[in-house]
Chain A
Amino acid sequence: MTYVKDETAYEIVVECEMEAAPETVWRALTDENLAADWLGAQPASEGKEAPGSPSYSIVEAKPYSRVRYAWHDPDCPDAPPIVTVELERLAGGRTRFRLTHGEAVMRVMQTANTNTPPLALAA
């Protein structure tokens, strides 16, 4: 079952169980063509953004466990720029899947800011 968690207004989380092993899910997350297919986005590396179409690039890939995509949507240019997918192996060749858009980037920004003045101070 797929559901959207909505506890805070600043993140979108989609969680579900996949009828496939983490290795298979991993391939779909990291193969350029497969990822472009399900993400509905062009790989940013191609450098030719289709108008109105989001683009992605992989910024972190921890095998069978976590992928972070840099995300750019020309129609929503200031939306949170990171999409995180986390995987967890389940019994019976299945995989728990969790996609987060929003909150994860906030955590990343805080981590990145520990040694530098917070970005927000410039606001």
Chain B
Amino acid sequence: MNESEVFRALADPTRRAVLERLTDGEKNATELRQGLRIWQPAVSQHVAVLRGAGLIEETRRGRHVHYRLAPEGLAPVFDWLERYRAYWPARVERLKTLLKEMDR
């Protein structure tokens, strides 16, 4: 799995919506489609991208394919979030100090 693939996969709002629909548990293709208001082939395409990025997994049971989140696939996102959630507030504090210095 390539990290940039993860961010690229998340760059699309429909794919983020697909992931959000899976946060409350496994769904089959029909359940996954409900509420997404897009064509079935488009859903399949988005699901393929998410699978390629390692963000969801599928299992086949009988005639149905079930999808679920692969939380470990989000690790690069969590790494970035953890780092920058601390980073930006600290940098903005530095900007405030800098603005005071510029005033003088």
Point out residues on A near B: beta carbons under 8 Å: 2, 4, 6, 8-10, 12, 14, 16, 18-20, 24-25, 27-28, 34, 37-40, 73, 75-80, 97, 99, 101, 105-106, 109-110, 118-121, 123
B87 contacts which chain A residues (CB < 8 A)? 40
Which of B49, B76, B93, B99 lies in contact with A123, CB distance below 8 A? Answer: B49
In this complex, which of B4, B74, B96 has the most chain A Cβ atoms within 10 angstroms of its Cβ?
B96
Interface residues of B in 55-104 (CB under 8 A from A): 74, 76-77, 79-81, 83-85, 87-89, 91-96, 98-100, 102-103
Interface of A is mostly: mixed
Inter-chain contacts of A123 with B (CB < 8 A): 5, 8-9, 49, 52-53
Q: Is the interface of B mostly helix, strand, loop or mixed?
A: helix
Contact of A2 with B92 at beta-carbon distance under 8 Å, contacts A8-B16, A78-B3, A120-B9 already known: yes
Q: Is the CB of A40 within 8 A of B85?
A: no
Q: Count residues on chain B whose CB falls below 8 Å from chain A CBs.
A: 41
Q: Which of A6, A12, A18, A39 contacts B99 (CB 8 A)?
A: A18
Q: Hey, which chain B residues are within 8 Å of A10, CB to CB?
A: 10, 16, 77
CB distance B88 to A79 under 8 Å? no
Which residues of B are interface residues toward A (Cβ below 8 A)? 2-13, 15-16, 45, 49, 52-53, 74, 76-77, 79-81, 83-85, 87-89, 91-96, 98-100, 102-103
Given contacts A4-B88, A119-B11, 7 further A-B contacts (CB under 8 A): A12-B88, A19-B100, A78-B7, A99-B88, A118-B12, A123-B8, A123-B52
CB within 8 A of B84: which of A25, A39, A78, A79? A79
B79: A residues at CB distance < 8 A: 76
Decide yes or no: A120 and B11 within 8 Å by CB, A28-B99, A79-B80, A99-B92 being known contacts: yes
Residues of chain A with a CB closer than 8 A to B12's CB: 106, 110, 118, 120
Contact in complex: B3, A19 (CB < 8 Å): no
